[in-house]
Amino acid sequence: MPIQTTSKIWHNGNLIPWEQATIHVMSHVIHYGSSVFEGIRCYGQPHGSAVFRLPEHMQRLLDSAKIYRMELPFTLEELCAGAVDLIESNGVTPCYIRPIALRGYGEIGVSPKGSPIEVYIANFPWGKYIAGHGGADVCISSWNRLAPNTMPALAKAGANYMNSQLIHMEAEINGYQEGIGLDVNGLVSEGSGENIFIVRNGVLYTPPLSNSALSGITRDSVLTIARHLGFTVIEQALPRELLYIADEVFFTGTAAEVSPIRSIDRIVVGDGKPGEITKKIGDEFFGIANGLKPDRFGWLTPVKVNAGEPVTA
Ligand SMILES: Cc1ncc(COP(=O)(O)O)c(C=O)c1O
């Protein structure tokens, strides 16, 4: 789906017209992938709108920047306030928010020292990322996730998404909705843009971050919700074949939210329908995000915009 434009983009502390948020082709980021970014959702509520886990996302942006020695000239509070100002100025919710910090136009060498850091935040409507209500048909990718000590998997860096593109394109070409990457040792890591959970005998499992997975904010939300609902959750290395014999499997992510998986490599998961535990966790997640259940974990930042209709895929 093409990007639906809004009026303004936040650039280094100022709101500028969407069309003017451009960079030069010789910018460092274009040649070397030197960017870190975030994906955040703002949900419609019965009386306005709210951003889901805004400070946690902006903190991860700062952490990603720190890993890459990018000194962002904005504090956590300034970045959060910038996102709220932008959303209220554009007046568009529900929406997806894309902060990005990049190394701009300066020098052409690999060393980023002479290239200025630019920070942008955009917001725009974006619907369901994983289409279909009955669950996604996915495959195990022939591409592995990033090996430890090569590209840091905990940094949400633009360059990492070359690996995600390989996984996702291969899956799509072969008729699947998404691909799951194994880590360099053949253990389950994550989807091209999602963390993964399985349920077996009533217990939830997800790979630890040391299996080259991003520290997903939705993953953390699901861990919190599952424990709150009284489920046992275990973070442990998962062999590939455990996916095939799981009772339930689902993806989590800001774009994917909580998305059930129907089959993996054409092997049907459970009875092929979204499982009961996936549904319970999804209900709680969407209930909180949409303001229909209490914000018991303090995850919402209100914005003064009345929500329009949710965008569908
Ligand atoms: C590779 C990857 N893993 C996991 C996630 C899920 O992270 P989050 O829940 O913070 O969106 C994403 C999405 O940002 C991702 O791109």
Task: Tell me the per-residue pLDDT of 43-62, one tens digit each, with 9 for 90 and over.
Answer: 999 989 999 999 999 999 99
Contact criterion met (CB below 8 Å) for 249 and 256: no
Please name the residue whose Cα sits nearest to atom 5 of ligand 1.
194
Cis peptide before 99 (omega within 30 of 0): no
What global pTM score does this model have?
0.97
Give the separation between CA 160 and CA 155, rounded to whole angstroms. 8
Predicted confidence at residue 132, as pLDDT, reads 67
Give the separation between CA 138 and CA 231, rounded to whole angstroms. 26
| Residue 280 is a catalytic residue | no
Confidence grade of residue 1 (pLDDT, cut at 50, 70, 90):
confident
Residue 309: pLDDT above 80?
Answer: no
Predicted confidence at residue 110, as pLDDT, reads 97
> How far, in Å, is the centroid of ligand 1 from the Cα of 39?
8
> How far, in Å, is the centroid of ligand 1 from the Cα of 213?
9
Say which residues have a Cβ less than 8 Å from residue 109's Cβ, sequence separation at least 6. Answer: none
The predicted-structure confidence for 273-296, as pLDDT tens digits, reads as follows: 999 999 999 999 999 999 999 999
> How far, in Å, is the centroid of ligand 1 from the Cα of 230?
25
Say which residues have a Cβ less than 8 Å from residue 107's Cβ, sequence separation at least 6. Answer: 28, 113, 114, 115
Residue tagged active-site, from 8, 66, 113, 156: 156
Predicted confidence at residue 179, as pLDDT, reads 98
> How far, in Å, is the centroid of ligand 1 from the Cα of 37?
11
Please name the residue whose Cα sits nearest to atom 2 of ligand 1.
193
Give the separation between CA 81 and CA 271, rounded to whole angstroms. 46
Ligand 1 neighbours, Cβ below 6 Å, are: 39, 164, 190, 193-195, 214, 216-219, 252-254
The predicted-structure confidence for 107-159, as pLDDT tens digits, reads as follows: 999 999 999 999 999 999 998 887 767 899 999 999 999 999 999 999 999 99
Please name the residue whose Cα sits nearest to atom 4 of ligand 1.
194
